[in-house]
């Protein structure tokens, strides 16, 4: 079993942190985005959408999509639960809601700002639309303000327990700097949360 990834990219880091929280050892093979290695015919067989991460099972089965890969490992190694408490429909749904909210409203605009504004992305983001990149920088800022307020009364994104929603948020917040967005400035609750999740061993993954 191994994972194809690019250590620079945000989505592979989500999977690495998830695996670290579960204590799962993994082999990784680098597919360099900046060298367009994800565009080769070989890699297209592994994922027709030409994105990392991709999990390759020992029988040659490939699985892509960050959260789907995490879901596979949650099934195999349920402890500690990171997608919500097994058997608790509301907790599973609430955890999924927060994971999605953060993925769509924080991570997606941060990545869009990076792709549409960073000169190095021009060969990959076609067309690169400056106006759309700037709109996403603004969206990321207002959504980070909202998230800061949400954290005023609870320790973690989805409630009292660390979950996949915190992983998505940590990766989004750390990647925001690459997109020239200052995620923690003037956001004290978010900064407190960021300090706590960054202190976990898994944050080094």
Interface ranges with a copy of itself (CB under 8 A): 48-49, 57, 61, 63-65, 67-69, 71-76, 87-90, 92-94, 96-97, 100-101, 105, 127, 129, 131-132, 135, 146, 150
Phi, then psi, of 80 in degrees rounded to 5: -75, 145
The number of residues making up the chain comes to 205
CB 137, min distance to a copy of itself, A: 12
Phi, then psi, of 172 in degrees rounded to 5: -65, -45
Q: How far is CA 108 from CA 23, 94, 146, 152, 157, in A?
A: 28, 20, 15, 23, 17
With respect to a copy of itself, which residue has the nearer C-beta, 124 or 132?
132
CB 204, min distance to a copy of itself, A: 26
- CA–CA dist 151, 139 (Å, integer): 18
User: CB of 133 within 8 A of CB of 67?
Assistant: no
With respect to a copy of itself, which residue has the nearer C-beta, 43 or 203?
43
CB 154, min distance to a copy of itself, A: 14
CB 198, min distance to a copy of itself, A: 25
């Amino acid at each position: 079993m191994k994972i194809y990834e690019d250590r620079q990219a945000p989505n592979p880091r989500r999977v690495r942190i998830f695996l670290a929280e579960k204590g799962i050892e993994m082999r990784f093979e680098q597919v360099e985005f900046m060298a367009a290695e994800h565009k080769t015919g070989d890699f297209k067989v592994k994922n027709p959408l030409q994105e990392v991460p991709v999990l390759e099972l020992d029988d040659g089965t490939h699985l892509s999509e960050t959260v789907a890969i995490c879901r596979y490992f949650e099934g195999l190694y349920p402890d500690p639960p990171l997608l919500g408490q097994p058997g608790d429909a509301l907790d599973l749904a609430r955890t999924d809601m927060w994971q999605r909210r953060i993925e769509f409203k924080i991570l997606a605009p941060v990545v869009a700002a990076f792709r549409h504004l960073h000169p190095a992305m021009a060969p990959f983001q076609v067309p690169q639309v400056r106006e759309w990149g700037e709109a996403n920088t603004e969206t990321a800022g207002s959504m980070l303000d909202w998230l800061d307020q949400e954290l005023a009364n609870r320790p973690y994104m989805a409630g009292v327990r660390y979950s996949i929603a915190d992983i998505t948020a940590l990766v989004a917040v750390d990647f925001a700097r690459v997109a020239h967005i200052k995620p923690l400035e003037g956001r004290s609750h978010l900064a407190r949360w960021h300090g706590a999740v960054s202190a976990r061993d898994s944050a080094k993954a």
